Amino acid sequence: MSGAERLGITADVLVIGFGKGGKDLAGTMGREGRRVVMVEQSDQMYGGTCVNIGCVPTKALVHHADVRRPGDDPQSWYHDAIGAVTDLTTMTRGRNFEMLDTLDTVAVVTGRASFLDATTVEVAAGDDRLTVSAATIVISTGSVPVVPDIRGLRDSAYLATSTDLLHTKELPRHLVVIGGGYLGLEFAAMYRQFGSEVSVLEAFPGFMGREDDDVADVVVGILRDQGITLIPDAKVTEVRDGSVDTTVCYEVGGRPRTLRADKILVATGRAPAVEGLHLGRAGIRTTERGAIEVDEHLRTSRPHIYAIGDVNGGPQFTYISQDDHRIVADLLLGDGTRSTADRRAVPHTMFITPPFSTVGLTETAARERGHNVRTAGKLVARATATHRPRIMGDTRGLIKLVIDADTDLVLGAALISIDSQEVINLVALAMRHDVPARELGNSIYTHPSTTEVLNELLGTVARAGAQVPAGGRPGIARSPSTYWARPKPNDQSSGPFSV
Annotated binding site for NAD(+): 179-186, 202, 269
Residue 135's CB is within 10 A of a number of other CB atoms, namely: 12
3-class DSSP state of 67: coil
CA dihedral 417, 422, 428, 434 (to 10 degrees): -100
Cβ contacts of residue 371 below 8 Å, gap of 6+? 361, 404, 405, 406, 411
Q: Are 490 and 221 in contact (CB under 8 A)?
A: yes
Q: Rounded distance, CA 160 to CA 246, Å?
A: 12
Q: Which residues are annotated as a binding site for FAD?
A: 59, 141-143, 310
CA distances from residue 174 to 152, 196, 260, 372, 492 in whole angstroms, order as listed? 19, 6, 8, 47, 21
Residue 489: exposed, middle, or buried by beta-carbon count in 10 A (0-12, 13-18, 19+)?
Answer: middle
Closest CA to 8 of 136, 115, 129: 129
16 DSSP β-pair partners: 39, 139
Cβ contacts of residue 412 below 8 Å, gap of 6+? 358, 359, 360, 361, 362, 363, 365, 366, 401, 402, 431
β-bridge pairing 409-416 and 398-404: antiparallel
Q: Tell me 351's DSSP state.
A: -
The residue from 304, 387, 433, 447 that is catalytic is 447
Q: Tell me 311's DSSP state.
A: G
DSSP per-residue codes, 87-154: HHHHHHHHHHHHHHHT-TTEEEEESEEEESSSSEEEEEETTEEEEEEEEEEEE---EEE-----BTTT
Q: Rounded distance, CA 113 to CA 394, Å?
A: 48
Is 304 catalytic? The answer is no
β-bridge pairing 348-350 and 356-360: antiparallel
Q: Are 461 and 189 in contact (CB under 8 A)?
A: no
R_g of the chain, CA atoms, integer Å: 25
Closest CA to 83 of 4, 168, 140: 168
Chain-centre distance of CA 2, in angstroms? Answer: 39
Q: How many residues does the chain have?
A: 499
Q: Rounded distance, CA 338 to CA 308, Å?
A: 14
**Catalytic residue numbers, as ranges:** 447
